[in-house]
Chains A and B, each alone.
Chain A
Amino acid sequence: MSAEATGQKFNIDTVEHAAGTPETDLPWAELGLKDNEFARIQEILGRRPTAAELAMYSVMWSEHCSYKSSKVHLSQFGEKVTEKMKEHLLVGIGENAGVVDIGDGWAVTFKVESHNHPSMVEPYQGAATGVGGIVRDIISMGARPVAVMDPLRFGAIDHPDTARVVHGVVAGIGGYGNSLGLPNIGGEVVFDSVYQGNPLVNALAVGVLRHEDIRLANASGTGNKVVLFGARTGGDGIGGASVLASESFDDTKPSKRPAVQVGDPFAEKVLIECCLELFKASVVEGIQDLGAAGISCATSELASNGDGGMHVELTNVLLRDPSLTPGEILMSESQERMMAVVTPENQAAFEAIMDKWNVEYSWLGEVTGTGRLVIDWAGETIVDVDPRTVAHDGPVYERPFARPEWLDALQQQKFDGERPASDSELRAAVLELMASPNMCSKDWITNQYDRYVQGNTAMAMPDDAGVVRVDEETGLGVAISTDCNARYSYLNPYEGARAALAEAYRNVATSGAKPLAVTDCLNFGSPEDPAIMWQFAETVRGLADACQELGVPVTGGNVSLYNQTGGVGIHPTPVVGVLGVFDDVTRRTPSGWREDGQAIYLLGTTRDELDGSEWANLRGHLGGQPPVVDLEAEMTLAAILINSSRDGMIDSAHDLSEGGLAAALSESSLRFGVGARIGLDELCERDGVDAFTALFSESHGRAIVGVPRSEEVRFKDMCTARRFPFIRVGVVDTANGALDVQGRFSLPLDELRAAHEGTLPKYFG
Chain B
Amino acid sequence: MPRIVVDVMPKPEILDPQGKAIAGALPRLGLDGFVEVRQGKRFELTIDGEATDEALAKARTAATTLLSNPVIEDVTRVEWINDAAAGDVE
Question: Does the CB pair B72–A122 fall under 8 Å?
Answer: yes
Stretch at the interface among B14-22, B40-48, B78-86: B14-22
Q: Which single member of A122, A266, A334 contacts B15 (CB below 8 Å)? A: A334
Complex Cα–Cα for A258 and B12 (A): 11
Answer yes or no: B13 CB below 8 A from chain A CBs: yes
Stretch at the interface among A231-239, A302-310, A441-449: A231-239
Question: Does the CB pair A257–B70 fall under 8 Å?
Answer: yes
Answer yes or no: A260 CB below 8 A from chain B CBs: yes
Q: Which single member of B14, B21, B70 contacts A262 (CB below 8 Å)? A: B14
Answer yes or no: A423 CB below 8 A from chain B CBs: no
Answer yes or no: A16 CB below 8 A from chain B CBs: no
Which residues on B sit within 8 Å (CB–CB) of A263? Answer: 15, 17
Question: Does the CB pair A125–B72 fall under 8 Å?
Answer: yes
Answer yes or no: B68 CB below 8 A from chain A CBs: no
Cβ distance B28 to chain A, nearest Cβ, rounded Å: 11
Complex Cα–Cα for A321 and B20 (A): 13
Answer yes or no: A4 CB below 8 A from chain B CBs: no
Question: Does the CB pair B71–A257 fall under 8 Å?
Answer: yes
Question: Does the CB pair A262–B72 fall under 8 Å?
Answer: yes
Question: Does the CB pair B17–A235 fall under 8 Å?
Answer: no
**Is the contact region of chain B dominated by helix, strand, or loop, or is it mixed?**
loop
Question: Does the CB pair A320–B15 fall under 8 Å?
Answer: yes
Within 8 A of A (CB), among B34-74: 69-72
Which residues on B sit within 8 Å (CB–CB) of A320? Answer: 15
Which residues on B sit within 8 Å (CB–CB) of A321? Answer: 12-13
Q: Number of B residues contacting the other chain (C-beta, 8 Å)?
A: 14
Which residues on B sit within 8 Å (CB–CB) of A267? Answer: 17, 20
Complex Cα–Cα for A389 and B11 (A): 35
Question: Does the CB pair A258–B13 fall under 8 Å?
Answer: yes
Question: Does the CB pair A264–B17 fall under 8 Å?
Answer: yes
Q: Number of A residues contacting the other chain (C-beta, 8 Å)?
A: 21
Answer yes or no: A589 CB below 8 A from chain B CBs: no
Q: Flag A200-243 by CB within 8 Å of B: 1 or 0 each.
A: 00000000000000000000000000000001001110100000
Which residues on A sit within 8 Å (CB–CB) of B10? Answer: 262
Which residues on B sit within 8 Å (CB–CB) of A125? Answer: 71-72
**Nearest residue, chain A, Cβ from B18:** A264
Which residues on A sit within 8 Å (CB–CB) of B70? Answer: 257
Question: Does the CB pair B15–A236 fall under 8 Å?
Answer: yes
Which residues on B sit within 8 Å (CB–CB) of A236? Answer: 13-15
Complex Cα–Cα for A235 and B72 (A): 12
**Nearest residue, chain B, Cβ from A125:** B72
Q: Which single member of B15, B17, B71 contacts A258 (CB below 8 Å)? A: B71
Question: Does the CB pair A234–B72 fall under 8 Å?
Answer: no
Question: Does the CB pair B17–A262 fall under 8 Å?
Answer: yes
Complex Cα–Cα for A122 and B71 (A): 7
Question: Does the CB pair B13–A122 fall under 8 Å?
Answer: no
Answer yes or no: A121 CB below 8 A from chain B CBs: yes
Cβ distance B86 to chain A, nearest Cβ, rounded Å: 32
Cβ distance B71 to chain A, nearest Cβ, rounded Å: 4
Which residues on A sit within 8 Å (CB–CB) of B14? Answer: 234, 236, 260, 262
Given contacts A236-B15, A261-B15, A267-B17, 15 further A-B contacts (CB under 8 A): A121-B71, A122-B69, A122-B72, A125-B72, A234-B15, A257-B71, A258-B11, A262-B14, A262-B16, A264-B15, A264-B17, A264-B20, A320-B15, A321-B12, A334-B15
> Which residues of B are at the interface with A, using a C-beta cutoff of 8 A?
10-17, 20-21, 69-72
Q: A-B pairs with the 3 shortest C-beta distances?
A: A235-B13, A264-B17, A262-B15
Question: Could you list some 24 contacts between A and B, CB below 8 A?
Answer: A122-B72, A125-B72, A231-B15, A234-B14, A236-B15, A257-B70, A258-B11, A258-B13, A260-B14, A260-B71, A260-B72, A261-B15, A262-B10, A262-B14, A262-B15, A262-B16, A262-B72, A263-B15, A264-B15, A267-B20, A320-B15, A321-B12, A321-B13, A334-B15
